[in-house]
């Protein structure tokens, strides 16, 4: 049968973690400025 490919590891990557933080902060700043 098919082998399931589950990779839930987006917090494992430091570069991804920083990008996520930056993005969420920008979204928050945008919401509050509206």
Partner 1 sequence: GSFKTENERLFAEFLECCSRLTEEHPEVIPFLASRHQKAGAEFLASAEFRNVLGRCLTRVQSKRSKVYVYINELCTVLKAHTQRRKLALSSAP
Q: Which residues bind partner 1 (CB under 8 A)?
A: 7, 9-10, 12-13, 15-17, 19-20, 22-24, 26-27, 30-31
Which two three-digit tokens encode residue 6?
């589950």
Least distance between partner 1 and beta carbon 7 (Å)? 6
Least distance between partner 1 and beta carbon 4 (Å)? 14
Cβ atoms 11, 17 nearer than 8 A: yes
3-class secondary structure, 20: helix
Which two three-digit tokens encode residue 15?
């570069």
Closest CB to partner 1 among residues 2, 9? 9
């Amino acid at each position: 049968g098919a082998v399931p490919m589950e990779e839930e590891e987006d917090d494992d990557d430091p570069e991804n973690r920083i990008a996520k933080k930056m993005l969420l902060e920008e979204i928050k700043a945008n919401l509050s400025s509206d």
